[in-house]
Amino acid sequence: MAGIHLQVPGGTVQTGKEDSLRRFEQAARKERLLRSLQISSSSSISLRLALLTASRLNHSGDPFQHCISGDHQLEYAYQWSRKGFTVILKLTSELGYAGFPDSLFQKQKDIQTIRYELSSKVNRHFHLSLNTFTSTPLYRMIQYGIVDTLGTTGRFAGSFLTPLVMVVSAGVKITAGGLGSFHVGLSSLKMVYLKDPRVFMSLEVNRFYGVKKGDQWQCEFGMSSSVDLAKKLTPQLNWQCRVDAFMTRNKPVDIHFKNSLTFKTGRSMNATLQSSIVYDKDLIHIFQTENLLTVGFSIRLRK
């Protein structure tokens, strides 16, 4: 196809039609190549500012204590697949302060999590999968509390790798088209490691995240399961629900439940209402509920 040329002194200037067609043909060839290899990948990043209300129940069975706090959440998600083999990576960072007005207590919030999933497709709905979950603080955490009229006191409550919580699960993943997936971990390992044992003396406890005083780590073998559901209710409203459970013979089931509704207010802006319930006997607080209202934005980096 001949392009349109303008003759000017010193050379020829082309309109760019041929360049546009060339770029279009290159993109089409790349897409055909990826389709022949059955390769697809996507990644996204989101940042949210949250207003959180929470309740907690102590080991001693004291009445619920309530808190209102603010924090930020930064999340990066990546997915790659080829010929039935899929890799999913999700990094989440939560930083902030949690204040309990009724107990005059404040605590730094520092949760860094990594979720990694490998799966191989068996048929349309069944996959063999390997899931890993890793969580640790990033900075030195201090709990602040008023002890008398003289002021406040700070206690060391954790730092990088104190604690390090890791769950590795191998099993079967069942997918439901357009709704989500269900994972059954037939063989699961939960490990807790404490790099700095001074946390026992600072918090005056004999156990921290299940690790006994004098030890630095604990391993548990059992079974796990997770349900990850997502549904687009309207063009602007998305629903997500995730439930994680870990089971052993010697203690009650650990349950982490998270339910959220996300409303898109623009091309990148969104608002999220999220509810969480945590039941874990190894945690300092046995039972905790959280309700978050977040406002932020998300960007799809590559498609």
Residue 11 has pLDDT above 50, yes or no: no
Class for domain 41-302, per CATH?
A: mainly beta
What does the pLDDT look like over 184-201, one tens digit per residue? 998 899 999 999 999 999
Rounded to an integer, the average pLDDT of 141-152 is 65
pLDDT at 265: 83
pLDDT-derived band at 268, boundaries 50, 70, 90 = confident
pLDDT at 61 over 60: no
Domain map (residue ranges) of the chain = 41-302
Q: Report residue 222's pLDDT band, with 50, 70 and 90 as the boundaries.
A: very high
Question: How far apart are alpha carbons 244 and 165 in whole angstroms?
Answer: 14
> Are 99 and 106 spatial neighbours (Cβ–Cβ below 8 Å)?
yes
216: pLDDT strictly greater than 90:
yes
- Per-residue pLDDT of 71-102, as tens digits, reads 778 899 999 998 889 999 999 998 876 665 54
Report the predicted TM-score, pTM, of the whole model to 2 decimal places. 0.78
Average of per-residue pLDDT across 221-231: 93
pLDDT score of 273 more than 80: yes
pLDDT on residue 148: 53
Ranking 15-19, 61-65, 232-236, 269-273 by mean pLDDT, the lowest is 61-65
In sequence order, the 6+-apart residues with CB closer than 8 A to the CB of 29 are none
DSSP per residue, 251-284: SPPEEEEEEEEEEE-SSSEEEEEEEEEEE-TTSS
Q: What is the mean pLDDT of residues 138-156?
A: 72
Q: Would the pLDDT of 33 be above 80?
A: no
pLDDT band at 125 (very low <50, low <70, confident <90, very high): confident
Q: What are the Cα distances from residue 276, in Å, to 190, 253, 284, 287, 289? A: 21, 16, 17, 11, 6
Indicate the pLDDT class of residue 153, thresholds 50, 70 and 90: confident
Banded model confidence at residue 2, pLDDT cuts 50, 70, 90: very low
Contact 289, 55 (CB under 8 A): yes
Higher pLDDT among residues 236 and 12, named by residue: 236
154 in Cβ contact with 124 (< 8 Å) = no
For residue 58, name the pLDDT band (cuts at 50, 70, 90).
Answer: very low
Nearest 5°: phi and psi at 32?
-65, -40
